[in-house]
Structure 1
């Protein structure tokens, strides 16, 4: 290892990040471990020599330092005693200072408490003196308070001291008695001023009186005074049975008089409260007028709800609701009818479940009776141009649900359910008729009934099952009476009704389709008899369609001609279904016959080829038509007649099936 590398190795031992593994890995790449061991041994010897040299040169200094430290230790021990004494003296001084501080604090607290008591005594003396002075003035010179300004100053002075004492909580029992007596006299005087000012509509004095009530924190007092002395005398003559008889049982007339009082007589108070936001703590409508209105209506007209008379009940409930809504609006909160307990309790006087039960029995019971008693199915001319009496009965029931003299917004969900129940019962009647069919002596009348039923169901869809997502479309139906906030539910009712009606329509169409299919299918089975008519019978070649084909097509043609001007859309669907099914069956039968003919023809050909003799070979060939050809020709005539009569009556779907039939016989 050269000198440079030796220095680098020695310096690496003194680095903070020295690692034995890294050092060995680095230097064993240039030399082996034995050489490195020798180098390290030499370096250790060198360090030992350097340490010996240092000890030789620094021994005296080290000895001197040891002696100095020994002397320093003894000096420190000598200083420990005076330092401990100083610590005790400082601790004693601290305790003295702490004791003095505590004494001073206690003295200051006592002084503060004495000053507070002194101030409280002065305050009590002040309010007592003021109260006694006011009491003396009231007793000796009551006319001195005729001036509302003087009265307001006295009230303000009194209320300031009284509120101050209340906040401090220093009111004693004896002082409270004096103060309370004076306060009652002041309130009595303010009440008199307030009532006089209200009777004369003096807004200035009323405003001052309201401020005095506010300063005295007697808002409830003035509202109670107004209720007893103003509202009660005005409402008491109105809410009684005699006045109701005079109004011909029309509660709305009484309500109108009550609202006139609220909107005219009390208007001066409303204007004052609107112009003075600091007086917002007063609400004469809610705390005076409404309380007396509720009380007088309950006591004076306890039987206003007329539970046994649904017509009168509905009329009075609507009038009461509208009046309460106007009162709530005057209170500044339209939600009071739903949130305020007193409004809710007042409305609970009207038993809505009982009312709906009566209406349910009238509407649903009447409709059920019509369904059970209608022996004649068909109705005369009517407003919705329906064909069946039960459809007309349903319409009358639905109209009754949403009649302005029956319907209530608060029972909207119940009336919606009732209307859906009526429709469901009506549709259930169709299913019952389909199962029985005993009321119709022949198929023609049965077909007529089904088609008329489809007409009525389409009418109902336009009345109670519109296919719309627009709330504005509800305004064109009987559901327009429902509150705007509930009309989105009507759209869901439409969808539910539409699904129910379309299900019954589908059942009726399928039933009628099966009838017409069976009528035609019975004749189409005769296509299998064609081979027997021509095979080995020497029958002449066919020139027209078979009788069975004419009879098979006739029910379909007659059905179309009978109802083509009545209900075009439903007729087209029924015709398409019938033609498709009949064509598919006829195609299957034709294919079976033609396959049988081919097999027979092939068998005969083979038989002839085995039994050929010379005489037959010598016989001349004839141009007569074979039996198989006659069979095919007859089928062509039949198919041509079938397509001629039905092709134009079918839809693209059924025409595709008929095209397949044509190709099969071409």
Structure 2
């Protein structure tokens, strides 16, 4: 049972109390916490009253409990009579038993101390015995090693490697023994230990190069295994690098050798790699042998010996290849160097070896020596500068490669140059991609800026604003062609860039496509504004219609006025020319926008004429009424009046205007103000009798 909690059965509390009766029997009950928890439930007066009520309940319950168990209480008192005498009776035997237990305990403790002391002495003796044993092994190993090394030079090469391997095992045992009894080893013996170790390593190094020169693969492998057992992998690699690799590279990697090479740097790299197929092939093959793969620390001849020495000599003896001044030469040398790295990686035994090669200080230094930011800046100035120079204030028509304008063609050429062989470098793919997006953005900005300019209104489509319209159309045609070619351009980029960035490339290209597509509205607005400036001058001639019919006795009009004919002819000529270059959807949008703003102006002009005609007629009517009252004559005018002819002419013009819109595949009911315009002229002529 848990001592921290006692289970009570409390009597039930009356309903309506501000607390729970079980709060009082909790093990962590606290008066302060109880008051703090219930201060917001009821006031102190209420809590006092509720506690008083429950206290009465508890008292009644206690009285009932005592009454219920009264007999048990009386029997308990009777049972305890004489219990103290029984306790006194067993007190003496228990005291004697306690003394005996203490005596036994003391004896056991003394025996344990004596045993522990004896075990400590025995352990010390065993340790001294072990030290003497290791010291004896050290002396024996030293003597054995000296005898082996003294006789090894008199043996044949095959026997020499066997003795060297035996000596290596003795040396490892000697090293272990000395580490265990170093306190007993004398300084003369330590000196002797160092001497035999150096002599053993020197003997193995001599055998290593002898077997390499004799092309003895089997014994060369045994020598490397023996050196690895002595934990001499790093030292052996450095020795091979300095005595085997470095002399071979001395004549290959130098400025005079580069000048003499017919194939330039590529020829130097070819000669370097040829060493792995000739003089260094045996070392490469043996160091990658399966018998050496089980070692914790493996020989990495290709990385630690060959590559590190090659890279060091390239930086020191051929520093000129890293100069970025001439971008063509820099690109060729960089490409040849990266191709050399790839071919060198093919000699690596696995991907882990390639990773180790990439993590070397020499590899990172080699990559940093190529000043790619300077190279890109030069290319940026060539590509972007050339393209910027090709952008003229006014577009230049020069049909080439499917583009109408020279500026668009230059943009496409600049985009291709960014990713062409001889310019593009994968390591700075992100910079060339940014330049590509900048070229597209610059073209979109140039096109939008040109289409945003406005000319002064002309009475006719002169060469100035006609040129603006033609150029705007040409820009739209070229932008559509450019947008159609961007998927092909994207395929070229995806082939060039590293795997894993394609989704990001497509996402960023969509923004450029949106910019180019956005120029469509500017082009349409430019063309519409230019056409409107001309046609609005024609529509203003509506105000001249009253002069044609005032006191001229002209016949009732049946044909539209000249300004409608001029607008119709000009629009048809424009439509005929534009339909050959623009898609139908764009043309419909263009004419819709044009008629929207034209009709608003036309409505205003017609409304002004009708208002003027009405006012004139009212003035004439009042004047006529005055004359009739003066002469006391009344006469009724018959026939079509001049005002009616004006209204009829306006109606004919508006009808022709609507038919013109319909010939352009427009729904006249969707043209702004046309329905109001048509209703206005129809209402004006509905009461005219032209018979």
Please, what TM-score do these two structures have when normalized by structure 2? 0.75
* Residue 305 (str. 1) matches residue 322 (str. 2): yes
Partner of 2:468 in structure 1? 446
| Matched-pair contact (CA < 8 Å) for 1:576–1:649 | no
- CA drift at 1:516: 0.5
**Pairs within 5 Å for 1:2-401:** 66=81, 68-69=82-83, 71-76=85-90, 78-79=92-93, 83=96, 87-88=98-99, 90-144=101-155, 146=157, 147=159, 148-163=161-176, 166=179, 174=187, 175-248=189-262, 250-262=264-276, 265-266=280-281, 269-270=284-285, 273=288, 275-276=290-291, 277-279=293-295, 281-328=298-345, 330=348, 332-333=351-352, 334-335=354-355, 339-371=359-391, 377-388=395-406, 390-401=407-418
Alignment CA distance shift 1:20-1:539 (3 Å) = closer
**Contact persistence 1:232–1:292 (CA under 8 A):** yes
Which residue does 2:583 correspond to in 1?
A: 568
Q: Where in structure 2 are the equivalents of 1:465-484 lying within 5 Å?
A: 466=486, 473-474=488-489, 476-477=491-492, 480-484=495-499
Match of 2:526 among 511, 532, 535: 511
Secondary structure of 2:268's counterpart equals: helix
CA shift digits 1:586-645 (9 cap, x unpaired): 3454466557767888999999999999x99997885x2344542332123212332343
Q: Secondary structure at the match of 1:407?
A: coil
Asked if 2 retains the 8 angstrom alpha-carbon contact of 1:241 and 1:301, the reply is: yes
Among 636, 643, 657, the alignment partner of 2:658 is: 643
- SS at 2:288 equivalent: helix
Q: What's the counterpart of residue 514 of structure 2?
A: 499
Pick aligned residue for 2:477 from 450, 455, 458: 455
* 1:193 counterpart SS class: helix
Q: Distance in 1 between matches of 2:625 and 2:357?
A: 104
Structure 1 residue 508: Cα displacement: 2.8
Counterpart of 1:348 in 2: which secondary structure?
helix
Cα deviation, 1:256-286, whole Å, max 9, x if unaligned, reads 2222333564366447635333146222222
How many Å separate the matches in 1 of 2:68 and 2:216? Answer: 120
Distance 1:336 1:530 in 2: 92
Q: Counterpart of 1:545 in 2: which secondary structure?
A: coil
Tell me, in whole angstroms, the C-alpha distance in 1 between the residues paired with 2:378 and 2:84: 118
Q: Deviation per CA, 1:405-453: give whole Å up to 9, x if none.
A: 1221111122222233334444444455457679997222222222223
1:134/1:567 CA distance change after superposition, 3 Å = same
Distance in 2 of aligned mates of 1:542 and 1:95: 145
- Which of the residues 594, 608, 621 maps onto 1:578? 594
Task: Provide closer, same or farther for how the CA distance between residues 172 and 448 of structure 1 changes in structure 2, counting only shifts above 3 A.
Answer: farther
Q: Tell me the distance in 2 between the aligned counterparts of 1:323 and 1:167.
A: 51
More moved, 90-99 vs 132-141: 90-99
Q: Distance in 2 between matches of 1:345 and 1:47?
A: 97
Equivalent residue, structure 1, for 2:535: 520
Q: Provide the C-alpha distance between the structure 2 equivalents of 1:438 and 1:200, rounded to a whole number of angstroms.
A: 90
Are the equivalent residues in 2 in contact too, given 1:227–1:289 (CA < 8 A)? Answer: yes
Q: CA offset at residue 240 of structure 1? A: 0.6
Larger deviation, residues 227-236 vs 171-180: 171-180
CA RMSD of aligned residues (A): 4.3
Higher helix share: 1
1:510/1:263 CA distance change after superposition, 3 Å:
farther
**Cα separation, 1, equivalents of 2:571 and 2:68:** 130
Q: Which moved more, 1:249-258 or 1:237-246?
A: 249-258
Secondary structure in 1 aligned to 2:319? coil
Q: How many correspondences in the alignment?
A: 607
Deviations 1:135-177 (A, max 9, x none): 2232244233732334323323432453465589879573543
Please report how far the alpha carbon of residue 541 of structure 1 lies from its aligned counterpart in structure 2 after TM superposition. 0.6
1:580–1:653 CA contact under 8 A, matched in 2: no
Give the gaps of 5 or more residues in structure 2: 1-7, 15-62, 457-461, 683-691
Q: Once the two structures are superposed, what CA deviation does each residue of 1:299-351 show, in whole Å capped at 9, x if it has no partner?
A: 22122212322221122222223323444562634455764433111211112
Question: Equivalents in 2 of 1:423, 1:198: separation in Å?
Answer: 61
Contact 2:535 2:567 in 1 (8 A): yes
- CA deviation profile, 1:454-475 (whole Å, cap 9, x unmatched): 2333333334xx3x6xxxx546
Q: Is the 8 A contact 1:337 1:344 kept in 2?
A: no
Q: Which runs of 5+ in 1 are unaligned?
A: 1-15, 23-40
Name the TM-score, length of structure 1 as normaliser. Answer: 0.77
Q: Secondary structure at the match of 1:386?
A: strand
Mapped contact 1:224–1:288 kept (Cα < 8 A): yes
Tell me if the contact between 1:546 and 1:638 (Cα under 8 Å) persists in the aligned partners. Answer: yes
